[in-house]
Amino acid sequence: MRVPQINLASHARKIRPRPALALAHDKGAVPVSQARKSTSSSQTSSKGQEPDHLSKPKLGFMGTGWIGRLRMKALQQESLASFVAVYDPAPDQAEQAAALAPEARIVDSPEELVQLDLDGVVIATPSALHAAQSIMALEQGKAVFCQKPLARTTEEVERVLAAAQLSDRLLAVDFCYRHLNGMQQIRHAIDNGELGRIFALDLVFHNAYGPDKPWFYDMQSSGGGCVMDLGIHLVDLAFWLLGGGEVHQLHSQLFHQGQRLQPPYLQVEDYATADFMLDDTNVRLACSWNLSAGQDAVIEARIHGTKGGAAVYNVNGSFFDFRVERYQGTHRHVLAEPPDDWGGRALCDWTRRLAQASWYDARIASVLDVAHTIDLIYQR
């Protein structure tokens, strides 16, 4: 069923006041309309109802491969949720998930899962399924936490947001790099003007390997190659760090095995660059699969301001270990360094918010900025 379109034009990819931060340890994020009026954990629903405070939300897991099971383990470590059901089309994957949470039942289909008595659904399925499965869960009154991308195109993202608004249910996306230790300090420094005017961002995500699932390499199934897989994290960080903005003067180049691709793109890219202005900040982005990088991965975001700079970068090629620093001239100050168990913090944050109130949080509309920019990179 196609969800009726809700007018999201007010979002319109314009500068918006930055709402109150939702930290991983917050006891609940206030609705965006009240974000600057109260720092209390008490909330008022968009429909004027008092929240249901759930000690441990009842969750179902749709897609229990490697990523799905990692997210389950993160919740278990924090003892944040009750595990009710798991679904995966591969029986062995579902059985491994059930072994992690013996109290959870294995169901035969996504449709069966969303019919259960659940407070929320965690989705970690192939990208082509995200929009439809999110909408299905939302229409059944379930909150949704979805692996990135929320959908393959802006139009699909708009449909999911419309479903979340209609159902008045909490929706979040797994943009996990926001939750690295030290990232909130950089964002505060930008907000407070400590780095001056941010005039440039350099964003890089090179993976010396490539995805191991065939659907990643099919444009229809994935929505794109390394940009959709890796670059989307970089685009999200740009908007999140700067608090929004309008994209203009965007130029992108996509390659497959060293050959430049031409739009419309029918083949997924394994190397891409994009250069654009986000208001008056120059954003330069590069990402790739299977690049000869001399190490497993090169992941970094470098922020350049008129009064100082900052950076987050992976250590010794690791996918998991990061150092976060601030710069003043030739001096550097380390804000965070390994070890840091950050991978499940986005999901834990959503689960804590769900335990406080299950309704729609308008801050999720920022995913439209990300989707629109990805569409511009793909020239569609």
Q: By the 8 A CB rule, do 167 and 138 touch?
A: yes
For residue 238, give Cα distances in angstroms to 247, 316, 372: 11, 24, 13
Q: What is the DSSP letter of 50?
A: P
- Per CATH, the homologous superfamily of domain 181-336 is Dihydrodipicolinate Reductase; domain 2 (3.30.360.10)
Give the model's pLDDT for residue 68: 95
Burial (CB < 10 A; 0-12, 13-18, 19+), residue 353, is buried
Q: By the 8 A CB rule, do 110 and 62 touch?
A: yes
264 preceded by cis ω (within 30°)?
Answer: yes
Q: Which runs of E-coded beta strand occur in the chain?
A: 58-62, 82-87, 105-106, 120-123, 143-146, 171-173, 198-207, 247-256, 259-260, 271-278, 281-289, 297-305, 309-314, 322-328, 331-336
Identical topology for domains 32-176+344-360 and 181-336: no
Give the model's pLDDT for residue 242: 97
Domain assignments of the chain as residue spans, ordered by start: 32-176+344-360, 181-336
Residue 358 contacts by C-beta under 8 Å, 6 or more apart in sequence? 51, 52, 54, 119, 120, 143, 169, 170
Give the model's pLDDT for residue 164: 98
The DSSP result for 117-146, as a single string, is S-SEEEE-S-HHHHHHHHHHHHHTT-EEEE
Per-residue burial over 169-191, b = 16 or more CB atoms within 10 Å of its CB, e = otherwise: bbbbbbbbbbbbbbbbbbbebbe
Q: Which residue has the tokens 């009726």?
A: 4
The residue type at 309: G
Q: How far apart are CA 3 and CA 132, in angstroms?
A: 10
Number of H helices, E strands in the chain: 11, 15
The CATH class of the 32-176+344-360 domain is alpha beta
Give the model's pLDDT for residue 55: 82
Question: pLDDT of the chain along its 380 residues, tens only?
Answer: 333 344 444 343 333 333 333 333 232 333 322 322 222 333 333 343 434 456 899 999 999 999 999 999 999 999 999 999 999 999 999 999 999 999 999 999 999 999 999 999 999 999 999 999 999 999 999 999 999 999 999 999 999 999 999 999 999 999 999 999 999 999 999 999 999 999 999 999 999 999 999 999 999 999 999 999 999 999 999 999 999 999 999 999 999 999 999 999 999 999 999 999 999 999 999 999 999 999 999 999 999 999 999 999 999 999 999 999 999 999 999 999 999 999 999 999 999 999 999 999 999 999 999 999 999 999 99
Handedness of CA 8, 371, 353, 87 (dihedral sign): positive
Give the model's pLDDT for residue 228: 98
